[in-house]
Structure 1
């Protein structure tokens, strides 16, 4: 059983830009964490990142899992899912990235494996110091009529140099799977579960998704990674009996700070604080809804 006072020993799985820029530095700096090691699919990258983070590299992922209390995963979703299942079955707590998987079967297996461990999925807006309280405030309001959450990115715009543009899985799955989870993480806690999904393709990887919610409200979202740089941005708006509310323009407090809050949430769960709203069950539901949208696009 994990001690309630000793630092949580965490292993980092992944060595890409997101791991090097966010996961690793945040884990290494957190006072409640001991970053016990790094594993990656490229041993040379794991060695370099481990040196940068003042920890050790592991050649064997199962050896790292055996040496820690929890794993933090910064890998493509369908690489993440089976490794997270292995870790959970070994009794290790999970700090995951979104989406947890891009197949319902993979997400469901993960949710079942993680039933007895603490888990947190890093939906960025749900851990932002400005956005998270705003979302919580809207979730306590009744009578919402409709909403929209748009996440329009430009990481593939011709004149944009983005460290995540070389990500193979983003090229393959597009905005629906990369930024769709962010939109759903805002809509679901406010309007309730989704009961109906339809979707339409736009330019390049742009997708328009229309949702009906259990509350009776409807919502829409525009998702893209290929918009012109000047057209990019994130917005959220809810309309209801009390009027119109919009996500604050300055909601970002930096990914490092938000990830630190996600670490806090995992520690709280490990120490008996109960399941977090952004655990693997939400991760599974998000995958199910995105799979429905993908099926609608195919039709």
Structure 2
């Protein structure tokens, strides 16, 4: 089967450590090139993987069947909208946007163009955690759940590669909130109501009601003390208590997301984590922010 030409938008830490290596090594992908807001970084990343660096993003779209994105969400949304209009399938990062209007515009563009889309919610594509979600979604009688996401991204000396301006500005609600929703919603159902309360720094507590009748909580932060960092997802119900296992590496998970996009593009079947699901996550987080 013909390999899919996939280009990459972005040259930051995720692009260089996860996206580019996975695309370059995938046997069913032709890594078609790189575009970034810093041309010198795009040139270096493309050279490291024997790909082409593009000075204009529309030239990358023209040379690609699909495009993967590793840029801040409010940069991603308008560029991905243009990529969809150019006929490119979309491998998006989460959140797809931080405004409902931008997320809806992107979703409409993908639907109008008829392109496939997958949003890279990391734990939905990790082997162990994805299997756990599938197992719990097939189990009836869940009463409640909780998702605690305590990140510690900001090194005291400011050297953390993840201390990006958009994360500092939007906080845990928008960076790790999508992860929590991507795990809770497939098991407990769509979110029908959300209440939010702020804690110290960027800490946010959410109380969620789900369409299946259960409720859940999510605690989200990027600024937890280093010794307090960690992720816990727990479900309680008629079957007892279920605790989500630890995930594996991001490169393997991203490779699975690439596989999912290939399948969606070739089969025409929508993936559960498509742009419409990404839009729903943005709608819920925007409501919580209000």
Question: Common fold, TM-score beyond 0.5?
Answer: yes
In structure 1, the residue corresponding to 2:267 is in which secondary structure?
coil
TM-score (norm 2): 0.97
Correspondences of 1:30-45 after superposition (within 5 Å): 30-45=26-41
Which consecutive aligned stretches of 4+ in structure 1 deviate over 4 angstroms post-superposition?
none
Contact 1:155–1:161 under 8 Å retained in 2:
no
Deviations 1:207-248 (A, max 9, x none): 111100111100001101101111000110011111111112
2:180 to 180, 183, 191: 183
2:288 to 281, 293, 298: 293
Aligned match of 2:82 = 86
State the Cα distance separating 1:150 from its structure 2 match. 1.0
Mark the CA change 1:159 to 1:61 in structure 2 (over 3 Å): closer, same or farther.
closer
TM-score (norm 1): 0.94
Correspondences of 1:1-299 after superposition (within 5 Å): 5-115=1-111, 116-158=114-156, 161-165=159-163, 167-248=164-245, 251-272=246-267, 274-295=269-290
Q: In angstroms, what is the RMSD of aligned CA positions?
A: 1.1
Contact 1:100–1:283 under 8 Å retained in 2:
yes
Give the whole-Å Cα distance in 1 for the aligned partners of 2:63 and 2:272: 28
Give the whole-Å Cα distance in 1 for the aligned partners of 2:222 and 2:155: 8
Give the whole-Å Cα distance in 2 for the aligned partners of 1:193 and 1:157: 35
In structure 1, the residue corresponding to 2:212 is in which secondary structure?
coil
Aligned residues: 288
Contact 1:154–1:160 under 8 Å retained in 2:
no
Give the whole-Å Cα distance in 1 for the aligned partners of 2:159 and 2:211: 41
Give the whole-Å Cα distance in 1 for the aligned partners of 2:6 and 2:122: 20
Ranges in structure 1 where 5+ consecutive residues have no aligned partner: none
Give the whole-Å Cα distance in 2 for the aligned partners of 1:157 and 1:216: 40
Give the whole-Å Cα distance in 1 for the aligned partners of 2:141 and 2:11: 45
